[in-house]
Structures are given as structure tokens and as C-alpha cells.
Amino acid sequence: MTGPEPPESLPTTAGELPLFQCRLDVGGREWTVLHTQAVVSRDDEARYLAERPDGMPYGVTLWPAALALAHELATRPAEFAGRSVLELGAGTGLPGVVAASLGARVVQTDRSELVLAVARRTAERNAVSGIEHRLADWTVWEDNSRYDWVIGSDVTYADSMHPHLRHILWQNLAPGGRVLLADPLRADSLAFLDGLEADGWRVVFHRWSIGEGDDARPVGVFELSPPRGR
């Protein structure tokens, strides 16, 4: 990951939001990602949570789980070409953009229009099409479509949302479909995955390290398959 370039701005109701861009090498290709701030280490995260402006959505920040998920997707091109993908909590948009570049039909969702605006710009910057951006709230979920893949990065940190996430995975996963969830091994996230496994889901763990040296952050990408006969 190279350093940030001079910011551009995104108009919002609260004024101009500065967006920085960084360039990442994922899957042998350079990608441009727009964000308000990049978080990698635990110290970065602690500072961000302490200083985050009120009302600023988490999704406009670039998180290590999104980087790990993007890398995971890039290693599996044959599994995404021609497939349908639902991305939950799209954030800055990198994983869904990588999936679309592999030939997937992607629906990126988030509950914040501001976040979706950043995701759209990320897709445009990388000249990637085939993505639908959709405003969606897990607590009033209205999508009844089935997808070959459901993906998400850092979407399991809040245990209050786990029942809604379970509902979406059960309702929207096509027969034979699978899930990829990336998380920096948070306790609440691991508890969510343990619960799914106890209910018959198959959980496979892929480990990534994001960052360099002492600041490297371990991130798990968890591949989930629903119980047989669902």
C-alpha cells in the first residue's frame, strides 16, 4: 500500500468531505481506493474510535478486513466469474470492486448513502462496472433475491446485529451458495461464527496479515457453507 495522495472532496449536507486515495496491489493489479482514513494496526483503530467525528459512518474508513477480503477474492477468480454476489456493509467498496473485476454481478449494500457514494467513486476510479449500489438496512431487510456468494468485511462486530445477519445469510444465499466474512478476530465475531458452526454451518478459516512489521494485523477470512438440506 502506497501513501495517500492529495485529497479530493465529496459534497455532503454537512459540507465537503475530504477523500484520500491510496494505491494497493491486490491480485497482481493496482487498485485505487478512496477513504477518509486508513486503519491498519490496533493503535490506529484505538485512535480512530477516540477521534471519530460524531455521525461519521465507519464505512468511509479503509479497514484491514476489507483488504484481507479483497486479497482472498483475488485468489479465487474461477469461483466468482459469472456469479452473483451480495456485499453487506460495502464501505469503501474494494472487495465488491475486485469481485466485479473477476466477472461477478455484484450488489453492494450499506445503510449510509454517503458510504455508497464513496463505493461508487471507488468503482469508477478503477473502471469497474457490473455493480449495483443499494441502500439497505439489516433491521428492515427487503431483498428476497438469492446470491451465489454473500460477502462482508468487519460486519460481525456488533452482537445486537447478529440475528439480522443470520436472517440475511439464510434468506439470501442460493442453493450451493457460500459466504465469505473477514474480521480481525474480534471476540463478538468469533462468538457469532461459533454459533453458526454449532447450528450446522461449515466454517473454514483463512488467515491473512495486513500491514508490515510490528503493525501487521491478523485478519481471518471465514468461508461459510450452510447446513445440508437447508
Burial class (CB in 10 A: 0-12, 13-18, 19+), 7: middle
User: What's the mean per-residue pLDDT of the chain?
Assistant: 92
**Percentage with pLDDT > 70 across the chain:** 92
Pick the CATH number of 5-225 from 3.90.280.10, 3.30.1490.190, 3.40.50.150, 3.30.429.10: 3.40.50.150
The whole-number pLDDT of residue 14 equals: 45
95-118 mean pLDDT: 96
Q: Please tell me which of 42-46, 47-51, 114-118 the model is most confident about, judged by mean pLDDT.
A: 114-118
> What per-residue confidence (pLDDT) applies to 2?
53
Structure pTM? 0.93
Split at pLDDT 50, 70, 90, the class of 230 is: low
Q: Which whole number is the average pLDDT over 132-151?
A: 97
Burial letters for 153-190: b for 16+ Cβ neighbours within 10 Å, e otherwise?
bbbbeeeebbeebeebbeebbeeebbbbbbbbeeeebe
